[in-house]
Amino acid sequence: MSAVLEITEIRKSFSTGFIPRRKDILKGISLSVGEGEIYGYLGPNGAGKTTTIKCVLGLIFPNAGKIMLFGRDHLDRRAKENLGFLPENPYFYDYLTGREFLDFYGQLFSIPRSERAAATSRLLKLVDMDRAADLPLRKYSRGMLQRIGLAQALINSPALVILDEPLGGLDPLGRKEIRDLILRLRDEGKTVFLSSHILQDIEMICDRVAIIVSGRILSQGRLSDLVSETVLFTEITVSGVAESDLAALGESLSTQAGRTLLKVCDEPNIEAVLALVRAQNGKVHSLIPRTRTLEDIFVDMVKPQ
């Protein structure tokens, strides 16, 4: 798998204020995104996610480090030919209609007029915005801007799509649609790099993730490696069993309407509980093994900072 985006040790600091004070935003970020994967860039607000993305796009210049896109320098015009980008809280030319807007960006890629019209219509349909195609963007809601923004990111059918908080500001239905769309992009062979501070977004669709906290990458790798498969404990809900018999086997978390929720840590105890239920003619309502979630990892990592 060749690297589509390769970031090596980039650093960036800003000087702000009347008496300038140096503030380090990125403290040596390195990551590599392979072809055809969905790469999640996860971190709390202010961790440096957007700053990293802006460095990749050439909107800001890192103080040190190297960024390669498709094996070329990231500022190379040819590298950008294959790039799509959706910013956080997108805002576009409000005097253009949705169709004009997409057409304008298509022109920047020197796409011929006839192809442009076809691509514009196809994308408008893809993001479900064809009904608002001839409305000026100033009349668009936030969710609509997000959709048209995604459409402009795809106008050149890029090999790499960079999405900054793509699910922000969307309702649950919209989030699902955009998620499905991102998965579809991967199925088409595109690489997707997306940032988010919402774990569920990443957990559901990303192949690999990097976790960034205060300008440093704390962990990166396959989601399955980060989220360990080992079972931490098992939750069993039973009824029709004497509670005093269960106490020895696990911790009783709650009892409601005759049902007992039991937290069982040792694996042999699970069998013992089941045997007990059978012996007393009780009933098992549920049995859920709990593994470590990305959220657990995330909370563990952010805490010491």
Partner 1 sequence: MTVTVIARNTFKEAVRDRVLYLLLFFAAVSILFARVLALLTVGDRVKIIEDVGLASISFFGALMAILIGTGLVYKEIEKRTIYTLLAKPIRRHEFLLGKFLGLVLTLAVLLAAMSLIFLGLVLAHTGRIEWGLLVAVVMIFFELILITAVAILFSSFSTPILSSLFALAFYLIGHFSWSLETLLKKIPAGATRTILRFLYTLLPDLENFNLKAEVVHHLPIAGAQLLYSAAYGLVYAAFILGLAIVIFRRRDFI
Query: Which CB sits closer to partner 1, 119 or 162?
Result: 162
CA–CA distance from 270 to each of 208, 235, 267 (Å)?
A: 33, 9, 5
Angle between helix axes 113-126 and 98-108 (nearest 10 degrees) is 130
Strands 72-73 and 64-69: what pairing? Answer: antiparallel
Per-residue three-class SS string for 192-210: EEEEECCHHHHHHHCCEEE
The least CB distance from residue 127 to partner 1, in Å, is 15
CA 215 to CA 222: how far, in whole Å? 21
CA 148 to CA 125: how far, in whole Å? 10
The least CB distance from residue 90 to partner 1, in Å, is 7
- Binding to partner 1 (CB under 8 A) within 53-112 occurs at 54, 57-61, 77-78, 80-81, 83-87, 89-93, 95-96, 100, 104-105, 107-109
Query: Which CB sits closer to partner 1, 164 or 203?
Result: 164
DSSP class per residue in 31-95: EEEETT-EEEEE--TTSSHHHHHHHHHTSS--SEEEEEETTEETT-HHHHHTEEEE-SS----TT
The least CB distance from residue 83 to partner 1, in Å, is 6
The least CB distance from residue 38 to partner 1, in Å, is 19
Binding-site residue total for partner 1 (CB under 8 A)? Answer: 34
Q: Provide the token pair at 251.
A: 């911790």
The least CB distance from residue 197 to partner 1, in Å, is 19
The least CB distance from residue 131 to partner 1, in Å, is 22
- Out of 8, 14, 30, 32, the only residue in the binding site for partner 1 (CB under 8 A) is 14
Residue 115 lies near partner 1 (rule: CB under 8 A): no
Query: Which CB sits closer to partner 1, 136 or 143?
Result: 136
- Binding to partner 1 (CB under 8 A) within 159-178 occurs at 162
Q: Provide the token pair at 13.
A: 């600091």
CA 53 to CA 7: how far, in whole Å? 10
Query: Which CB sits closer to partner 1, 84 or 215?
Result: 84
Q: Which residues bind partner 1 (CB under 8 A)?
A: 14, 54, 57-61, 77-78, 80-81, 83-87, 89-93, 95-96, 100, 104-105, 107-109, 149, 152-153, 156, 162
